[in-house]
């Protein structure tokens, strides 16, 4: 089975870090992730094909910029720091986190899958 990432979990790592110590890097990550969710809000009622198109046009460039930023920041922060752990979480799961971009039927989050699994 193909793993679908959960952008909400990645976002939560940065959110908690920002709440705890007003991390500017976490705030930047939250802003970028927010842009991906904004595209999803725009695409909410679209067909899978149209959702795929808008993701390719709008979300894919945002996701690439976020990934590039994550990689750059990871090289700049101290190993073992809270921000490095948040960055590593997203980077290690990037393929799964970004898989939704290539399929208009996939959600940005896998929360629905987790709920279904818990019920089953």
Domain housing 57:
7-119
Q: Are 4 and 106 in contact (CB under 8 A)?
A: yes
Share of the chain above pLDDT 70, in %: 88
Q: Specify the pTM.
A: 0.86
Task: Write out the two tokens for 54.
Answer: 């808008």
Does the pLDDT value for residue 5 go beyond 90? no
Confirm whether 58 is domain-assigned: yes
What's the pLDDT band for 109 if we cut at 50, 70, 90?
A: confident
Task: Write out the two tokens for 109.
Answer: 């989050």
Number of structural domains, the chain?
A: 1
Does the pLDDT value for residue 3 go beyond 80? no
Task: Write out the two tokens for 45.
Answer: 């009622």
Q: Are 92 and 86 in contact (CB under 8 A)?
A: no
What's the pLDDT band for 6 if we cut at 50, 70, 90?
A: confident
Does the pLDDT value for residue 116 go beyond 50? no
Confirm whether 60 is domain-assigned: yes
């Amino acid at each position: 089975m193909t793993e679908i990432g959960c952008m909400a979990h990645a976002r939560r790592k940065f959110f908690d870090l920002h709440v705890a110590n007003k991390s500017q890097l976490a705030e930047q990550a939250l802003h970028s992730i927010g842009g991906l969710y904004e595209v999803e809000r725009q695409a909410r009622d679209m067909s899978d094909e149209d959702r795929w198109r808008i993701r390719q046009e709008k979300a894919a460039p945002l996701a690439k910029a976020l990934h590039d930023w994550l990689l750059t920041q990871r090289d700049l922060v101290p190993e073992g720091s809270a921000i490095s752990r948040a960055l590593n979480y997203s980077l290690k799961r990037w393929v799964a986190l970004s898989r939704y971009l290539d399929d208009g039927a996939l959600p940005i989050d896998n929360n629905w899958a987790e709920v279904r699994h818990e019920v089953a």
